[in-house]
Structure 1
Amino acid sequence: MASPAIVLRDLTRRFPVRASGGVRELVAVDRVTLEVARGEVLGFLGPNGAGKTTTLLMLSTLLPPSAGTAEVEGFDVRTAPEEVRRRIGVVPTGARGVYTRLSGRENLRYFAALYGVPRREAEARAAALLDLVGLADRADDLVARYSTGMRARLGLAKALIHDPPVLLLDEPTLGLDPHGARVVRDIIAALNREGKTAVLATHDMVEADRLAHRVAIIDRGRIVALDRPEALKQRVAPDGEATLEDVFLALTARPLREAVRA
């Protein structure tokens, strides 16, 4: 049996917070334990501030864990961060991590060089990725002239330039119109069919339902549910009428949580 692509064991992150009585610790991620199989898309859902982005930052080696371990493709994020970075493609929320004063093609050349991709191979990959994300005809335009949807697609291409097996996607369709969001979802689905593993943090329940093999729901830093979307719906409504949104609201609504767990 193949080893998992991602393994989290009691992963914890605390932040010092100044309060009237001094400094206290805020636990943003609290002993999270889960595995993501190779070739799986794991939907990662939770309210704002629940710990989704903090978990992804730890997985991407940008934030050290306070306790516990996180491994990607068998490499620990603390003891082998360079090996982890070679194996992940990260799509951050917001600006997508691309440079607006460069063209789309120049962005991909730049990031390919950072990853040590040979120049000829980088040119071929850049051309193929720009075609994949529908930017071939705008490849040499400055990113400053790109729409929000175009920048999102370029951010996805950037994450793929070194051909990583694992993608960490933090709200990749945030701010996109329905057409742009569908294009990005279709690309993610196609990449998964090619064998890519992905952790997809999103507030879009339809997106998670369509793309994720399993869904993890995090609330107050803890995983409160982890299962296939259909199985989670059955837990909330055995008659099969529930949506993933119903599941999310039930599991993250304080008065309802214990009743749903039971």
Structure 2
Amino acid sequence: MLAIEADALRRTYTSRTGWLRPRRTETEAVRGVTFDVARGELFGLLGPNGAGKTTTIKMLNTLLLPTSGTARVFGHDVAREPVAVRRRIGYVFGGDRGLYERLSALDNLRYFAELYGVGARDQKRRIGELLDLVGLTGRERERVEGYSRGMRQRLHIARGLLHRPDVLFLDEPSIGVDPVAARDLRRTVAGLAAAGTTVLLTTHYMAEADELCDRIAVIAGGRIRALGTPETLKARVGDRDVLEFEVYGVDEELLARVRRIPGVRGAAVEERGTAQALTVQSDRGAEPHARVLAALDGVRVGRVVSREPSLEDAYIAIVEDATTRREPAEVTA
């Protein structure tokens, strides 16, 4: 039996604007998403902000009803059998919400163990196991308000595992976490999957997805645009060269100019402290180095690195392709 089955899932939000002449606007956040996740698989769901990742997860974990389509968790329909689904899932989201700051980690876990129906006889042993799993043994009697972001995220994971769920949803668990804490979180997540827990992970960190995930789905504009192993997705840009420029002050107009260079297949810029990283993908052998520098005339350029395509490059190519071909997502009446 599959752990998760999503078949043509759709979710439409309706809003009204105006007073004298009100208008009804329908926005399709998720537009026919179909995928499945095997038992014990660590499955990644990647996409830009507003792509439909969190809406999809909320439909799968019964927090939102699908407008149409079906979804099942270990055979239980999320719309018709929400209680049965909730017994088999855990949900961990990024950020500081969901914990009681003025309580200790131990008291937080005791409280949530009661909510999740963990038997009194099992609570002490189960909480001890989870504190050890997430590396908080010895710190459990401290108030959560004194915890670092990484410690809070590990406590979130412990909370989500209290009732031994078969499926754990991790919605951007490492957001805002420092590199050392993020590494510890990845170890914890990898350990969960190795122990047999099915994990559905969303993240904006491509290296994290590449390291952890068995398979990845890329969602953009509410649709699944690519699905496969990290190696399969990287193979989509295997015929490209990648140049990375350290730049200062590249705007959308300059980025558009770079994208128009013959042989360039994609370009994206990322803020990195006081500098920017401009990544340019081109056809193999096109050698656009000099033409990119000419297009950046007047912009301060630091080091330039040539490298092999990564999962992030594949992700950018998939999302950019979806953006250029995206169908209208709003209907106004």
Give matches, 1:159-170, under 5 Å.
159-170=160-171
Matches within 5 A, 1:62-211: 62-211=63-212
Q: How much does 1:131 deviate?
A: 1.3
Q: Does the 8 Å contact 1:75/1:84 carry over to 2? A: yes
1:25-68 per-position Cα deviation (integer Å, ceiling 9, x unaligned): 10001110110001111111000000001111111111111111
1:14 paired residue among 12, 15, 32: 12
| SS of 1:195 mapped into structure 2 | coil
Taking the aligned partners of 2:193 and 2:225, their CA distance within structure 1 comes to: 26
Query: Do the aligned residues in 2 keep the contact of 1:112 with 1:122 (CA within 8 Å)?
Result: yes
Distance between the aligned counterparts of 1:70 and 1:224, measured in 2? 19
Is contact 1:100-1:144 (8 Å) kept? yes
2:53 is matched with which residue?
52
In structure 2, the partner of 1:242 is 309
CA-CA distance at 1:256 after TM superposition: 7.7
What is the distance in 1 between the residues matched to 2:322 and 2:12? 26
Name the larger-Rg structure: 2
Q: TM-score, normalised by structure 2?
A: 0.74
1:227 partner amino acid: G
Query: Where in structure 2 are there 5+ consecutive unaligned residues?
Result: 242-307, 326-333
Inter-partner Cα distance in structure 2 for 1:104 and 1:129:
11
- Measure the CA separation in 1 of the matches of 2:87 and 2:99: 18
Report SS of the residue matched to 2:5.
Answer: strand
Distance 1:91 1:45, change over 3 A: same
Aligned Cα root-mean-square deviation (Å):
1.6
CA contact under 8 A between 2:220 and 2:322: conserved in structure 1? no
Measured after TM superposition, the shift of residue 77 of structure 1 is 0.9
Comparing 48-57 and 140-149, the one that deviates more: 140-149
Cα pair 1:232 1:247 within 8 Å, conserved: yes
Mapped to 1, the partners of 2:218 and 2:115 lie a distance apart of 34
Give me the whole-angstrom Cα distance separating, in 2, the residues matched to 1:140 and 1:245.
Answer: 40
- SS at 1:136 equivalent: coil
Q: Percent identity?
A: 51
Q: Secondary structure at the match of 1:230?
A: helix
Distance 2:55 2:149 in 1: 24
1:215 partner SS: strand
Asked if 2 retains the 8 angstrom alpha-carbon contact of 1:251 and 1:257, the reply is no
Gaps of 5+ in 1: none
CA separation of 1:172/1:256 partners in 2, compared to 1, >3 Å: closer, same or farther?
closer
2:175 alignment partner AA = L
For 2:321 and 2:240, the matched residues in 1 are separated by 24
SS of residue paired to 2:63:
coil
The structure richer in helix per residue is 1
Q: Return the alpha-carbon distance in structure 2 between the equivalents of residues 134 and 93 of structure 1.
A: 18
TM-score, normalised via structure 1 length: 0.93
* Contact 1:96–1:155 (8 Å) recurs in 2: no
Q: Which amino acid aligns with 1:23?
A: R
Q: What letter is aligned with 1:250? A: A
Determine if contact 2:94/2:153 at 8 Å carries over to the other structure.
Answer: no
Q: Quick check: 1:4–1:73 contact (8 Å CA) kept in 2?
A: yes
| Count of residue pairs brought into register by the alignment | 256
Q: CA deviation at 1:242?
A: 1.7
Deviations 1:174-221 (A, max 9, x none): 110000000000000011000111110000000000000011000010
Cα distance, 1:165 vs. partner? Answer: 1.1
Structure number with greater CO (CA < 8 Å, separation at least 6) is 1
Is structure 2 residue 25 aligned with structure 1 residue 24? yes
Give the Å deviation of 1:93. Answer: 2.2
Amino acid at match of 2:16: R
Q: Aligned equivalents of 2:77 and 2:177: distance in 1?
A: 34
Q: Quick one: structure 1 residues 78 and 134, their matched pair in 2 at CA, closer, same or farther if it must change by over 3 Å? A: same
